Chain A
């Protein structure tokens, strides 16, 4: 597996997709800062409930505020990263050396995990620094133990994002082409964003709403103090999503013929 990781390191460092992803991730907090400055100057003072990130302390919430953009970036990245291996036929080079499909799948998932982690760290760090620099560090209303809140929200939001991205990995191992990967991951993102709203309309389906990672990302108010109590459930939902999506993705990959 270490061999595969070394090979992927060469591929990623030499190709543009990882650098483009990281460039967008770096640009994202800067763009949000400029947008917030503009709003603050011309449309009235920022309100935490609405704008989510209003100072350095709330910078940790940038991954929540920009979650759809982050997910769409990873829709594209994962589809290119995995889809190209199938389209170029290069997956044959790894598998024909006796590498098991399980290890191959886990290696890809691990790389995506690392890049998601790096991205969320960059976004959090840049947002905290840039918003802190302009608006002051400040505080979050109702949060007394900021350190605990910071680490818990960083971990939870990262896991929620990664759980959705792990589904993208599974989808790409199922469809095995870049174009289809982009389309299906996009459809999945939008559907899972809208579906919980529909669930709420039916009493029998209401319970399902909060078993979808995206429900927390899109609809939960992370600025309220009460959200802290829901972190364990969010972590559980994320882990369950990663495990189930990985099992489905791997099973589909294991059964498939590699062209």
Chain B
């Protein structure tokens, strides 16, 4: 059985009267890249800070690497690397010195520093101080700094925030490479599902302080499947025709739209049947459901 790295049950955290996390529960197993998705303010960063011991939950249980009492969980945190919100770096120091500081914090040697800087494509920064780095460089260095302590579990909070498309791709590839080469387990958050879908293997949708849905990569792909978008004059009659054609995987959207998720090769027959039955077809198109639409649908977002 795959080892459970992190299991949380019924985590509650409030700030004043505002409940940020309201009985949140999830489980992350070794080797997963768990994508935590939620709109801004959903509680992603708060949850991650609770896992890291940077803030306290009002109630609920945390089990980390099998440890569940406060002292053991604190010990287990040594196996975690984190980059939460903004990259936590010393602007007056160079990349190497930032790495050395974290190596000293973790009580490990400096042997990995050169390799990690190469891995993050930062080997040529020499004496350049971090305050002069671009945001992308800082994000990469922040990840390198977390890796210096040889973590088994990496927590990354919106690591692509503020990056340009090239930077986003670079970070994504780095994460995949780390999982492939170092066998890390990763918890990564974002408010953009499309972006997470290209890196995560499991997904949890956080809304109003709770995980409202968990999906595997395969399930998510199904959600982003192709469909036939039909805009017609008579929905009721069209539904009858679809049933007669043994097409059952469809969804009625509003008063004049139907989405058909199966039998995509029957576009011509569907069109013919509808027209034959005096239904006006305004639009007939094959489309992909956007993940963002799916996310907004289930969170009821605007």
Contact = CB atoms under 8 A, between A and B. Distances in A.
B84 interface: yes
A136 interface: no
B19 interface: no
Contacts of A90: 88-90, 101
A99 interface: yes
B101 A95 contact: no
Contacts of A97: 77-78, 105-106, 149
Interface stretch (A8-16, A151-159, A200-208): A8-16
B102 A100 contact: no
Contacts of B145: 93
B91 A3 contact: no
Nearest to B76: A98
A11 B93 contact: yes
B160 interface: no
Given A93-B82, A258-B54, 15 more contacts: A4-B105, A7-B102, A10-B97, A10-B100, A11-B90, A14-B92, A90-B88, A90-B89, A90-B101, A91-B88, A93-B102, A97-B77, A98-B53, A257-B56, A258-B55
Nearest to A9: B104
A15 B86 CA distance: 21
A3 B106 contact: yes
A33 B190 CA distance: 61
Interface in A1-56: 2-4, 6-7, 9-11, 14-16
A63 B85 CA distance: 44
B88 A92 contact: yes
A145 B89 CA distance: 53
Contact of A258 (B49, B75, B80): B49
Nearest to A100: B74
Contacts, number: 85
B83 to A, nearest CB: 9
B104 A7 contact: yes
Nearest to A84: B90
A14 B93 contact: yes
B18 to A, nearest CB: 14
Interface of A: 2-4, 6-7, 9-11, 14-16, 84, 88-100, 257-259
A92 B101 contact: no
Given A3-B105, A90-B88, A259-B85, A98 B78 contact: yes
Contacts of A4: 105
A84 B93 CA distance: 13
A92 B93 CA distance: 17
Contacts of B82: 92-93, 96
B107 interface: yes
A88 B89 contact: yes
Nearest to A94: B105
B262 to A, nearest CB: 47
Interface of B: 49, 52-56, 74-78, 80, 82, 84-93, 97, 100-102, 104-107, 145-146, 149
Nearest to A255: B56
B49 A88 contact: no
B75 A98 contact: yes
14 contacts: A7-B102, A7-B104, A10-B93, A10-B101, A11-B90, A14-B92, A15-B90, A15-B93, A89-B84, A90-B90, A90-B101, A95-B52, A98-B74, A257-B55
Given A10-B97, A14-B93, A92-B52, A99 B105 contact: yes
A95 B54 contact: yes
Contacts of B54: 92, 95-96, 257-258
In this complex, the member of B87, B101, B102 whose beta carbon has the largest number of chain A beta carbons within 10 angstroms is B101
A93 B88 contact: yes
A97 B151 CA distance: 10
Nearest to B52: A96
A97 B155 CA distance: 12
A93 B90 CA distance: 11
B88 A15 contact: no
A130 to B, nearest CB: 32
Contacts of A6: 104
B116 to A, nearest CB: 15
Nearest to A89: B88
Contacts of A16: 92
Nearest to A257: B55
A93 B147 CA distance: 11
Contacts of A257: 49, 54-56
Nearest to B102: A93
A94 B106 CA distance: 8
A224 to B, nearest CB: 46
A123 to B, nearest CB: 26
B286 to A, nearest CB: 47
Given A11-B90, A15-B90, A257-B54, A96 B77 contact: yes
A92 B90 contact: no
A98 B85 contact: no
A93 B76 CA distance: 15
Contacts of A95: 52-54
A15 B92 contact: yes
A96 B107 CA distance: 14
Contacts of A88: 88-91
